Amino acid sequence: MPLSLVERLNTVRRHRFIGRKLECDLFKSVLDREHPFSVLYIHGPSGIGKTSLLRELAQIGKSAQTPVISINGHKIEASPESFLNRLQLAMNLTPAPISVQTLADKLNHHILLIDSYDRLAALDDWLRDVFLPQLPEHTLIVLAGRRPPAFAWRADPGWQALLHPLPLGNLSQEESQLYLAQRQVSEAQRQAILNFSHGHPLALSLMADRYPQGKDASIQLEAPPDVVKILLENYLQEVSSPVHRMALEACALVRLMTEALLAEMLDIPDVHELFEWLRGLSFIESGQMGVFPHDLAREVFTADLRWRNPDRYAQLHQRARDYYSAHLEQTQGYEQHQILFDQMFLHRNNSAVGSGFMWQTQSYLTTDKLREGDRPALIEMTAKHEGEASARLAAYWLARQPHNVWVFRDREQSVTGFFMMVALHQASPKDLSIDPAAYAAWRHLQKHAPLRSQEAAILVRFWMARNTYQSVSPTQSLIVVNALQQHRNTPGIAFTLISCADPDSWSASFAYADFERIPNADFEVGERRYGVYGHDWRVVSPIVWQELLAKREIAPSTQAIAPFQPTKPPLVLSQPEFMQAVRDVFRHYTCPDTLYTNPLMRSRLVADQAAMGDSEKRVTVLQGWVREATESLQASPRDEKLYRALYRTYLNPAPTQERAAESLDLPFSTYRRHLKTGVTRVANILWQREIRYCS
């Protein structure tokens, strides 16, 4: 006898069903013995596979000779009468007035499956308090909905014992691979699909339909395919207004959303209700420090917004950056570390960054300073990955600069990795001669970017994870954040260099971060060659650097990253050159045309406040700095006489210096001494500001 259509449908469905072994094994164990619970409450976001799992559980029940009754909440009005009528139809009974107890008795030793239970939210109290308690003891109820059980289920001591919540997540990598293989998707195509879908069953199914065997599986999120539109509509079922959609879009862009951040990104003072709504969504999870969407939901909302409204996308990114930047200046330690991680998360959609970082897997790792007992483990780790010659150098620097070592530990406090910075400006000639890396880095600085007084240069000398060395890993990702944090906290930082065992593999990431490849700083240790990248913070200051990364952050992920090339890079003046330039500014203060050629016009002091091509504004900025520094002398009674000499000579000059001395009622020799001392004092004030601007 030929199969009926429903039989063919069920055969295909069972053949396509992959994974969920733990859930199915739990269900089988319940059928094989006295029920340890009466209600199995399956919950998870739309498209996660709840309906497919219920069909599989129904087949398991029938195979165990247990009658199965299935009801879909989509097809029922949320009223007791409608529910009871639908139940009678499902039991092949003629709908008719019947007592709840009589109908309930007929379900003895049955399995009752209710899909789309959240559609019956208005009926939840009646089902929980009236109908379900009347069912026979040997009836197993399975409910499936998007949201977890309501608080009333958990607050009732009886239901606490008889209810088993079962959250449903994405398929594992292995299960996803098996599903795609079954759908005859080629191996070359699978990883791109897995990267986008994160194992979400509906997304896997749609992608397998879109990319059949032999088709190109390249997924361009900037121009979202139909699958993004379908998934978006799937998630938007829970969105009730434009402002709610904007809240979701904002939540998708950041690592963790808090109420304060949401208010900043939406520019709405009171977002408490919106934030609570976010918390209640089936595809939003709550952590200790905020809420965040499931991975696929994040991908879908971000891809759609970036394609549909790039200006809005850029605006939300800017507001998040502004929020993080403001809070960075007010924090330190672990809190500052978390904000830096949040800032980096904004860059995840650019392939140059996203492929070199793990975004949600560091929570079990902690950052610690070097402990005395750590040294043998760190030396052994270095020997394992770089050889004995490198291990001896690591031991040397551990003794010389132990304060520049950070260690990462797991929950058991075992060392998972470390990184070590060498402060080149604090290294002795002996230190430099012992380590080829430090020597090559210092030689490069001396020849191409010599340090000025009070400036610092850092070489990230050793960085590795215990098992994966410098490959992408949770520890490696944590190293990046910590290195950035320590850079921020290094006074007077002028130059940062980073050594790599495989520099070519990191070229895209370093280009994105505006770190230049420095071949003449490469070095060899133990017959192994290492490459070096570097960044001069005096040429591209932290302020300009942040703006540069902000532009790259919202650029398409496939856009090539070109090195930052200022039209005229800022000049890195030595202190004597800087002092002389200040003296020249005073001499020509009232002649702006002459100031155009002053070296300070290309100093960092001026460059961060005026564009390189805007000469008039640069002159104004330069004059403003000199005037402000001069006027600051009035705050000290001892320096006020210096201010008066400078004011009458340069800012509001007398016809001659002799007339200036007369107006100040000073002997000419005393006046000249005050003038010289005043110029030196102002030059020193501006020099300190220049140093701060470059660090």
Same domain (yes/no): 463, 374: yes
Residue 496 pLDDT: 93
Same domain (yes/no): 455, 523: yes
Q: Which of 184, 219, 254 is the last residue of a domain?
A: 219
Same domain (yes/no): 586, 534: no
Residue 564 pLDDT: 52
| Integer angstrom CA distances of residue 448 from 313, 442, 451, 518 | 40, 10, 10, 11
CATH number for the domain including 115? 3.40.50.300
Q: Which of 124, 146, 167 is the last residue of a domain?
A: 167
pLDDT in tens, 309-328: 889 998 999 899 889 888 87
Same domain (yes/no): 133, 198: no
Same domain (yes/no): 437, 547: yes
Residue 531 pLDDT: 95
Residue 557 pLDDT: 46
Residue 74 in domain: yes
Residues of the chain with pLDDT under 50: 214, 217, 219-224, 557-560
Residue 562 in domain: no
Residue 278 in domain: yes
Residue 382 pLDDT: 96
Same domain (yes/no): 190, 248: no
Same domain (yes/no): 147, 182: no
Give the sign of the dihedral formed by CA 14, CA 19, CA 23, CA 27: positive
Same domain (yes/no): 428, 525: yes
Burial (0-12, 13-18, 19+ Cβ within 10 Å), 336: middle
Helix (H) / strand (E) containing 291: strand 291-293
pLDDT in tens, 61-85: 888 888 999 998 888 888 888 888 8
| Integer angstrom CA distances of residue 408 from 362, 458, 486, 501 | 10, 20, 15, 20
Residue 34 in domain: yes
Residue 336 in domain: no
Q: Which of 553, 584, 604 is the last residue of a domain?
A: 553
Residue 22 region by backbone torsions, left for phi larger than 0, else alpha for psi between -120 and 50, else beta: alpha
Look at the block and give the residue holding tokens 């000469």.
615
Same domain (yes/no): 180, 115: no
Same domain (yes/no): 201, 271: no
Residue 7 pLDDT: 64
Same domain (yes/no): 99, 18: yes
Residue 236 pLDDT: 79
Residue 689 pLDDT: 80
Residue 357 in domain: no
Burial (0-12, 13-18, 19+ Cβ within 10 Å), 82: middle
Residues of the domain holding 643: 575-693
Residue 564 in domain: no
pLDDT in tens, 403-453: 999 999 988 899 999 999 999 999 999 999 999 999 999 999 998 888 887
Helix runs in 106-215, H state only? 124-126, 151-155, 157-162, 173-182, 187-197, 201-210
Amino acid symbol at 529:
R
Residue 339 in domain: no
Query: For the chain, what is the domain count?
Result: 5
Residue 221 pLDDT: 42
Same domain (yes/no): 627, 483: no
Residue 355 pLDDT: 64
Concatenating the DSSP letter of every residue in 552-608 gives HHTS-TTS--PPP--SSPPP---HHHHHHHHHHHHHTTT-HHHHTT-GGGGSHHHHT
Residue 426 pLDDT: 93
Tell me the pTM. Answer: 0.63
| Integer angstrom CA distances of residue 569 from 444, 541, 599, 612 | 19, 11, 12, 9
